[in-house]
Every structure is written in structure tokens, then in C-alpha cells.
Chain A
Amino acid sequence: MTKPRMRTLALLLTGAAALAACAPKAPKILPPDPGNAVSTDTSGGGGVQGPVPGTQADFVAQMMGQDTIYFDTDKYNIDAADQAALAAQAQWLAKYPGKKATIEGHCDERGTREYNLALGERRANAAKNYLVSLGIDASRISTISQGKEHPIALGSDEASWSKNRRAVTITID
């Protein structure tokens, strides 16, 4: 109980440092893309009147985009930016130990459908495993692959694809 928590805290500290250094790599073209809206709850305004703490809306607001991690083409490894994001997620999850989460794995459209189902599953699992390594109980996190069926960026270009190769953490209210 305490041990994991200590570890989490330590990681959070390093995570915060990393966070300052690294921006998430995928959304390089953040502003013009309307797709980002999906995981950004409108209620997460960031003012005094924030969402109810411990809810998915709160999670989205707190993560400020870090509820999603991004992957290179055909890859599922967790890089430094991903680690920072997952650390932030782990911090939130550690704060609300009663909350469960689902990680959705996604792929870009430039792959075959079935393989992408498996690849999305692998990406979701990579994210989950990292959270678990940060001390989050595996039983709290489920995974689901959406393959390439639900893109968030709708273009057919590298900028869109890099946003679609993702794992999104969604907490369950």
C-alpha cells in the first residue's frame, strides 16, 4: 500500500520534470485541428468552477491532453512523452483509488483492419502495463482496441495519422 504510493510519488516528480521538458509529440499542429475536442470535456474550463473532482470530466481537465499518448507508425513502445503523460494519469488514478479506467487503443487508417485491431490492443496494453508499472492495480484498468475504426483526426495525411495512432485513457464514472 505505502510502497506503491511512495513509488508513485517519486515517479510523479520525475514525471512532472519530464512533462516540463517534453510536449506530447503528436499534436504538433494542435490549434487548427478540431479533432482534439473529443477527449477534451467542455466542462473542463480550468476556472474556479471546475468539474467535480474524481470524475472523467475532471480527469480530462487535469490531464490537459495527457489522457492520450501517441505512437509511431506500426509501433507500440512507450517513449518519454508517453511516460510523462502516463505518469500524470497515474497520479490522478492514485489520487482516486476507487476509480477504474479503460484504455482505448487506436490506429491510423493506413493498415489492414484486422491487424489494426490487434495493434490497437497491443498499444492499449502497452499503456496499461506502464500504468501498472507505476503502481496502478492492473484490475483497475481494462483495455479495448478500436483498431482504425474511430479516427479522431479526419484527414488522410501524416499529421492526422500521427494523432490517430493513440491510446486514450478514459476513467469510468
Chain B
Amino acid sequence: MKLPVLTALALVLAAPLAAQQAAPSPAPAPPPAAPAADAGLSGAVSDESDWQDLGIAIPAFATDADVPTQASAGSTAALGYSVAAVITADLKNNGLFKPVGPDALPRPAFAEVQAPAYAGWRSRSAEMLVQGYVRAGADGQVTVGCYLYDVALGQQLAKAGWTVAPGDWRRAAHKCADMVYSRLSGESPFFDSRIAYIAETGPKDRRMKRLAIMDSDGANHRYLTTGQATALTPRYSPDYKSILYLSYFNGQPRIYIYNLETNTQRLLLSSQNPVFAPRWSPDGKWVLYSMAIAGNTDIYKLPSAGGASIKLTDSPGIDIGGSFSPDGSRIVFESDRSGSQQVYVMNADGTDQKRISFFGGRSATPEWSPRGDQIAFTHIAGNLRIGVMSPSGGEMRYLTDSWQDEAPTWAPNGRIIQFFRTARGSGKTGIWQVDLTGRNERKLDTPVDGSDPAWGPLRP
């Protein structure tokens, strides 16, 4: 009833009342009011505004001496600018931060890197500040130092440095972005990682599908196959040394291992039967694949070092895919043994298979989060949407709502999911990503259309 009364007024009015009231307090005579005072005040603060993105200023990194480097970005000074630009782009792309990059900011002097001019940054209303430097070493290496400051508090929050080959300067920038991201979000880092995917071009009925790889920010893009044979469903090995993928090379769908160190490839296994849906175990020691025999598809496990396959499923329906839990003890997979695609979990040896998806519609392409706490999947009920559920099949939530989103893959930190979205009609595809809140969704820039993203682990 009196809600709108000004607080100041309330204070004035309340004073005498309070005095009277406390009077009869049976407190001992000497300190009559002390108890009340000493009880301490309590209260609460809330925030009804929208989620605020943290403002971060990222000026060009300084250098002690502008020296030419072997890096594509040029001299150390040019590199300092590019590093800041990469960090800015990284942090901008996940919806938690509102970074301002080197274009709009003055470049701090080398000496300022470790002693920021807080007052100046405050006047720019930056809440956080990322500063750093680039130095050329005698050995041709480049050292990048990275510092995170809380401008408002005037305090350093984190710092780190990396010495990299000039060609890897972007990795140092990603590492810096990772440091900032994890310090300010509480989550594990993920920017310094790579993505394998299928690059698509051409009309809907004759799409050319090529194996391609890129950094998590789309840089260092490279096509690995020519497109003469359709390539699908790649998976990076945990050590980034090879990629498993499906190719119609020689006309039949088979799984190949592409060796990234030698740029050679070989068949995973020779079989008369079609083989698809390759997967790595988290330790890289096992490969899962699905093979159709007389139309009946089952899941098999094969030591990546070579050896005999072990058949894990044996149902009359289609059992396909599979994704290991982070500890390697269990596998979540897809089966239509119930009459429609549903998600099942089994032990890594194939025992104890049980269905976990009971949401209506069809549930497909389950992928276990690297954190172990969630399973991402494609839910089909009319449209195809990306959802997550707990490993027991509970707490199902949609993360996307579009016409056709499928094939989720997890960021190394288990907080972001990439998938591919197909446009109705044109059939054009694109790689998208969304965070676990579902609030931050964006499309990745790829040179051409993209599908089947497969996120690799964080690089060491």
C-alpha cells in the first residue's frame, strides 16, 4: 500500500518509531540499543535487467620493438594488432561478452601492459581490459603475453604467456581468449581447438561434399578432399593427427582414416558391406563404426591400432552412431529397434542396453558432452531440432527451433554445441552454434556451405 514512498522519507519517519519501539527492549541497561545494531543488517539485491554482457576493451598488443617476423600477420607491431583482433572476435562470438577491439582503441605502450592506465579505461567505460605484448625472440619464435584486468576494481585478474612458432600466432591469441573466457565465465576454455566438417557446394540434387578443416574461429581453413567422391561425417581423432570420415570413393560408402601428418588415407576396414558413422573413443584407442549387412545395421568397435572388430549391438533394426561417455565406460547410440529412432545407452562392451529417450517423436545422433553431464541429440517431430538431456534421459530441453537442425557436436568445454542447419527448399546448409542456455545462437562463417561439424578437443 505504501510501496512508492520514498526511502529517504521512510528513514525520517521511521526514526522516532524505531526509537520508541526499541525502548521496551528488555536488554540490560547499559547498552540499550546495542543488540539491535550488532545483529547486522540484511537485505537483498536483484537484477531484473536482461543478462548483461561484460564490456571488455582489447587494445592492440604492445611490442617492445617492432621487429619483422615470419608470421603471416607481419611484424611484431602488426602481430600485436592482429592478436587483439583475434581475441576480440573469439570473445564476441559466444554472447557472454561485449568486446571492443583494437580498431576503436588506443594502443598502450609496452610499459603500460603491466601497469594499465586505469583511469583512461574507466573513462571509456570498459569493465574489463585485456592487454598484452608481442615480442620476437632470437630463435624466430614469438612470445605473446596476455593480461586481464578488472578496470573498475583496478586489479589484475589473470595473466599468461606463450611462446609459439610464428605460424602459430593465432593459437597464442586463442589461448589468451581462452584465459579471459574461463576467468570471466568460470567455464573451461575451448577457443584453441579445431573443427572438421563437410564443405558443400552445388545444386541440391548434385551437391559436392568435401572434407575440410578449420580453426574454431574459421581461420586456417583447408580442404582435404577434392569433392570427386562425396565425403560425410568426419571425426577428429583426440590427438588431431587424423580424421575418420565416410567417403563414396570407389562408389561405396566406406570409412577412411585421413592422416593429417602425411596427408594420406586408408580404409578403416575392408568389407563388402557399407560402413558408416565413425567415432573415436575419448582416449583414441577405439573406433566405433556402423555396418549394414543385408540391410541390418549394427554398431561395432575396433581397436584403432588394429585388431578384430567386436560387435556391440545385435538388434534386427538399425543401430547406428555412438558416442562414448568421457570416461569411456559407456556409449550412447541410436536405434530404431522400438520402431522409430530413439536414443539408447549401453556399456562400452555392449552390455546393458537400454533406451533413455521417451519424449515422443524421434531422437537421433546422440553425442555425450565432454563434461559428461549432458547428451546432445537431434529431436525429430516434424522439424528437426537440437536438444539436450541428462545421461539418464531426463530434463530434455530444446536449444534450437528451426526447420532442420541436426548432428550436434560439443565444444571441448561442453558448454557450446555446433550443428548444421538446412534451409527449406534450397537445401543449403550452414554450420551454427548455440550455447547451453539456448540464448546465444550464431552461424559460423565458412567459405562455402557447411555440414557435419565435428569439434576436436582443446589443443595442449
A and B touch in the complex (CB under 8 A): yes
Q: Are A144 and B274 in contact (CB under 8 A)?
A: yes
Contact pattern, B 33-74, Cβ under 8 Å of A = 1, otherwise 0: 000000000000000000000000000000000000000000
The CA of A71 and the CA of B7, in the complex, are separated in Å by 72
Q: Is the CB of A149 within 8 A of B207?
A: yes
Residues on B with beta carbons closer than 8 Å to the beta carbon of A119:
318
Q: Is the CB of A112 within 8 A of B294?
A: no
* Cβ < 8 Å to B, chain A residues 134-173: 143-145, 149-152, 154-156
Would you give the 0/1 interface string for A93-115, flagging 1 where the beta carbon is closer than 8 Å to chain B?
00000000000000001111111
B442 close to A (CB within 8 Å): no
Q: Which residues of A contact B418 (CB under 8 A)?
A: none
In-complex Cβ contact of B295 among A74, A121, A144, A155 (8 A):
A121
* Stretch in B123-131, B346-354, B393-401, B422-430 touching the partner: B422-430
User: B residues within 8 A CB of A143?
Assistant: 295
Q: Is the CB of A121 within 8 A of B406?
A: no
Contact in complex: A118, B380 (CB < 8 Å): no
CB distance B274 to A121 under 8 Å?
yes
Instruction: Answer yes or no: A81 CB below 8 A from chain B CBs.
Output: no
B374 within 8 Å of A (CB atoms): no
Residues of A contacting B422 in the complex (Cβ-Cβ under 8 angstroms):
109
Q: How far is the CA of A111 from the CA of B297 in the complex (A)?
A: 16
Residue from the set A76, A112, A144, A145 with the largest chain B CB neighbour count within 10 Å: A112
Interface residues of A in 36-85 (CB under 8 A from B): 74, 76
Q: Which residues of A contact B252 (CB under 8 A)?
A: 144
Q: Kindly identify which residue among B230, B296, B365 contacts A122, using a CB–CB cutoff of 8 Å.
A: B296
A125 in contact with B295 (CB, 8 Å): yes
A149 to B296, CA, bound (A): 20
Q: Is B320 an interface residue (CB 8 A)?
A: yes
B233 within 8 A of A: yes
Check if B320 sits within 8 Å of A151, measured CB to CB. no
* Interface size, B (range): 35 or more
Tell yes or no: B389 within 8 A of A by CB.
no
Which residue of chain A lies nearest to B364 when distances are taken between CB atoms in the complex? A112
Chain B min CB distance to A154 (Å): 5
B380 and A149 contact, CB distance less than 8 A: no
Are B205 and A151 within 8 A (Cβ)? yes
- Residue from A117, A144, A150, A151 whose CB has the most chain B CB atoms within 10 Å: A117
Question: Is the CB of B456 closer than 8 A to any CB of chain A?
Answer: no
Contact B276 A114, beta carbon cutoff 8 Å = yes
B405 → A minimal CB distance (Å): 10
Which residues of B lie under 8 Å from residue A111 when comparing CB positions?
Answer: 364, 380
User: CB of B340 within 8 A of chain A?
Assistant: yes
Among candidates B209, B318, B336, B384, residue contacting A110 with C-beta atoms closer than 8 Å: B384
Chain A residues near B364 (CB-CB < 8 A): 111-112, 115
Cβ contact within 8 Å between A115 and B318:
yes
Chain A positions 115-134 with a Cβ under 8 Å from a chain B Cβ: 115, 117-119, 121-126, 129
From A122, A144, A152, A155, give the contact of B318 (CB < 8 A).
A122
Give bound CA distance, A99 to B166, whole Å.
61
Instruction: Please give the distance in Å from B329's CB to the nearest CB on chain A.
Output: 23
- Minimum distance in angstroms from B207 CB to a CB of chain A: 7
- Complex: chain A residue closest to B297, CB-CB: A118
Within 8 Å CB of A152, what residues of B?
A: 205
A144 CB contacts on chain B under 8 angstroms: 251-253, 274
- A149–B230 CB distance below 8 A: yes
Bound-complex Cα distance A121 to B253 (A): 10
- Give the CA-CA distance A87 to B452 in the complex, in Å: 39
Residues of A within 8 A of B404 (CB): 109-110
Question: By the criterion CB–CB under 8 Å, are A155 and B425 in contact?
Answer: yes
Q: For residue B321, which residue of chain A has the nearest CB?
A: A114
CB <8 Å contact, A121 and B321 = no
User: Any chain A CB within 8 A of the CB of B142?
Assistant: no
Q: A113-B232, A115-B341, A125-B294 are in contact. List 17 more A-B contacts (CB 8 A).
A: A111-B364, A111-B380, A112-B341, A112-B407, A114-B277, A114-B290, A115-B364, A117-B274, A118-B276, A119-B318, A122-B296, A129-B294, A145-B253, A145-B274, A149-B207, A149-B232, A154-B205
- Interface pairs A-B: 3 shortest CB-CB: A125-B295, A122-B295, A118-B297
Sample of 9 A–B contacts (CB below 8 Å): A35-B205, A109-B404, A113-B407, A114-B233, A115-B341, A117-B232, A122-B292, A151-B204, A155-B425
CB within 8 Å of A: which residues of B?
203-207, 209, 230, 232-233, 246, 251-253, 274, 276-277, 290, 292, 294-297, 318, 320-321, 334, 336, 340-341, 364-365, 378, 380, 384, 404, 406-407, 422, 424-425, 427, 451-452
